Structure 1
Amino acid sequence: MSDPVDYIARLRTEARNPDREEAFRADRRRRRRRRASVGAAAALALAGLATWLVTNTGARPADEPFAAAALEEQLWPDAWPATTNLPLRGSPARGWATGAQELPLPAPAAVGSLSRQQVAEGLSRAREFVVAANLDPEVLRGGHPARALELLDPQQPARDRLAEHLRAPGLPDGDPTEMFTRFNPAELTVAEEGVRVRGAMSFEPGGVPGQLRINADYTFVYALQRAAPASEPGPAPDTEEVARVVVRRQLVLLYAPAGSSGVTAGKLVPADYRRQLGNHDCGTVDGFVHPYFSKEAKAADRPWPVVDPYDETTDIPAGPLRCIVPSRT
């Protein structure tokens, strides 16, 4: 161990050394250079990572695969197609109802000569019709909407007209999508957990005594995948893309619990029905809804207005089918 006296003497000698400050300055310069080198390397690494992310996740052509496992799927950008893993990823419909049991009805009240119970029955029939026409699994698979038609008044021409459109769909005014949501089972199947709905009903007296007018406004979201054995590759390896369709329907249904001339008791009469279909090929009229997958949408000529399909603040315009290019699905 060094003698403390010698150690102190050496420190005093070094303090008087004229080269001491220059040695300190040189040491500081070396430290600064090392820090700068480390910082530059880190900056280059970050720049390389940013370039990789842009190259692999956003700037490639739409028909080129995205980077595998770059992000967890729930964190993928909304511009990337949804997949069968998370068919409603990024959609505001994720938390909506999945079926009839979750569709609330307004509290019934007596209207004119109709009792509270009669109004409740009319509202229940209207909800049953909405479900049978747009949520029934068999109907979504392209089946005949028998229950929906059964709920309509057979004495009114609207039922026969809708049934004829189902038998012989075609332009200009024979499109079954005017009232029913069906997909061609040879081409598409509804993805698991791929159906959502939100909407509301209201009621008021009808145009004649003993009649109830029911106003319904519902938006349906469907996630579809190619029917087996075909599949649409997703944005990353080992994923399968889904196409989403947003269908909004505004209906006016008349209900009379008691029969009268030309009216069947307990049946519904569709007095007005409007629909807006987002991400549907409106040039094809065969009784089915035809969604675009991402590559198809990019290549297709879609001469329809770009609209937010979730905007429920305005009414659907009266007239023929309103086709839109959805700003989001």
Structure 2
Amino acid sequence: MSDPVDYITRLRAEARDPNREEAFLADRRRQRRRRASVGGVAALALAGLVTWLVTSTGPRPADEPYAATALEEELWPDPWPATTNLPLRGSPARGWETGAKELPLPAPAAVGSLSARQVGEGLRRAREFVVAANLDPGVLRGGHPTAALELLDPRQPVRALLTEHLRSPGLPDSDPTEMFTRFDPAALTVADKGVRVRGRMSFAAGGVPGQLRIRADYTFVYALRRAAPLSEPGPAYDTEEVARVVVRRQLVLLYAPAGSPGVTAGKLIAADYRRQLGNHDCGTVDGFFHPYFSKEAKTADRPWPVVDPYDESTEIPAGPPRCTVPSRT
């Protein structure tokens, strides 16, 4: 151990040293460089780890569960699948009508030899048919569209033709979805509050005296869930995905309140019927609609044009069904 007197003498000498301040500053600079070097090595190591994670695992999908839980479902981006909580989330159909009574009819007026009362009756019958074929809960669950068929004239071939298609569906031209909206109850069920409809109806004199020509143009949106609960998980934990099908129908229905040769009074004749189908597997013809859920849509071969299913500005072409890949549902 050094002598205390010598130690105090050395400290006093260092204090009187004119280079003491410069030596102190040089020592501080060395310490800062040492800390910066260590920090730089750590930063490089962290950057390397992040790079490895990204390159080895790829970018994280936007619909990964932890991403969805960071937002209220109402605020989820439109590309994320809708769920049974909000089956029409992100769809313009969310504010559309939900059932039969809300479907508006044009104000009836006398046309040709038909009175306004007779025209009104024909319009109501046409609406009954549209509802029975596309909105009736039993029919949506795969049931036989008895009420819709009963509204058609039994003396005209269309009713028998549709009945045969329901009995023996198949390609190329025996597809009951040509007129009726039905889902296989073993596979799908309509989600609560998962049906919307919008459209219009117009009328004019028919081709023969005493006949009314009714034109209907309606778009239907259906949100569907798997029949087995929770078998199609949604983007977030404990959510269930729904798939949406958009069906647009254009119909020409003839109505005659009085009988004439070959026509049954008070019944409808389906003179023309066309359909545009969005998010349906048109390669499967069994009398039901078959939507694609999000995982299926990513890998399925869908050789149809991409179309905005809510665009009602164009006519549906005549002939086979217009199958489409919806740009949005």
Query: Residue 151 in 1 paired to residue 142 in 2?
Result: no
Query: Matched residue of 1:261: which SS?
Result: coil
1:116 aligns with 2:116: yes
Mapped partners of 1:167, 1:107: distance in 2: 38
User: Does the aligned pair in 2 maintain the 1:276–1:324 contact within 8 Å?
Assistant: yes
CA shift at 1:209, angstroms? 0.3
- CA deviation profile, 1:276-298 (whole Å, cap 9, x unmatched): 01000000000000000000001
**Superposed CA RMSD:** 1.4
1:188/1:224 contact within 8 Å kept = yes
1:198 aligns with 2:198: yes
Per the TM alignment, residue 231 of structure 1 is displaced from its structure 2 partner at its CA by 2.0
Matched, 1:188 2:178: no
Aligned AA (2:319): G
Report the CA distance between 1:67 and its aligned residue.
2.4
1:137 paired to 2:120 = no
**1:89-144 CA-partner distances (Å, limit 9, x unpaired):** 00000110000111000000001000000000000000000000000000000000
Cα 1:62–1:282 change in 2 (3 A) is farther
Distance 1:62 1:264, change over 3 A: farther
Q: Secondary structure at the match of 2:202?
A: strand
For the residues of structure 2 that align with 1:165 and 1:314, how far apart are their CA atoms? 28
Matches within 5 A, 1:138-287: 138-229=138-229, 231-287=231-287
Give the corresponding residue for 2:12.
none
Distance (Å, rounded) in 1 between the aligned partners of 2:73 and 2:196: 20
Shift of 1:312: 0.2
Q: What TM-score, normalized by structure 1, do the two folds share?
A: 0.81
- How far off is 1:69 after superposition? 1.8
Code of the residue aligned with 1:218 in structure 2: it is Y
List runs of 5+ in structure 2 lacking aligned partners.
1-49
Q: Quote the Cα distance in structure 1 between the aligned partners of 2:277 and 2:64.
A: 29
4+ residue runs of structure 1 moved beyond 3 angstroms?
Answer: 61-66
CA distance in 2, matches of 1:67, 1:198: 34
Aligned partners of 2:118, 2:128: CA distance in 1, in Å? 15
Question: 1:311 matched to which residue of 2?
Answer: 311
Q: How many residues align?
A: 273
Q: State the distance in 2 between where 1:302 and 1:175 align.
A: 19
Percent same amino acid among aligned pairs?
84
Residue matched to 1:8:
none
Q: Deviations over 1:246-282 (max 9, x none)?
A: 0000000000000011000000000000000100000
